[in-house]
Amino acid sequence: MREINSLGLRLAYLLIAAGFLGGVFSFVRLGSIAIAIGMAIITLAHWQSAKSGKVERYLALSIALALLAVAISLPRGL
């Protein structure tokens, strides 16, 4: 797998911030999807580092996937 560099991490943080702002301005589905993708990118970027244990890595990735699933299953009106 390709290593995610610092530019990729900056884009992931920018994606999370854009998702938060999208949620504030009533784009809840788009904001949730952006936050989930940003979280997944950051988790995958730190996957090989010895700083975190297995539980922290899998928990962060499962939270990102659960948020993505909830965002997809939201009704169209929200």
Res 14: pLDDT: 96
Residue at 37 is within a domain: yes
Residue at 1 is within a domain: no
Residue at 49 is within a domain: yes
Res 5: pLDDT: 81
Which residue segment(s) compose the domain that 25 sits in? 6-73
- Calpha distance 20→24 (Å, rounded): 6
Residue at 78 is within a domain: no
Q: Which of 60, 63, 39 is nearest to 51 (CA)?
A: 60
Residue at 44 is within a domain: yes
Q: pTM for the complete prediction?
A: 0.82
Domains of the chain: total:
1
Res 75: pLDDT: 79
Residue at 45 is within a domain: yes
- Write the DSSP assignment of 12-45 as a string of letters: HHHHHHHHHHHHHTT-HHHHHHHHHHHHHHHHHH
Split the chain (78 residues) into runs of 10 and give each run's mean pLDDT.
Answer: 79 95 90 93 81 81 92 76
Residue at 18 is within a domain: yes
Residue at 22 is within a domain: yes
Res 36: pLDDT: 94
Res 78: pLDDT: 52
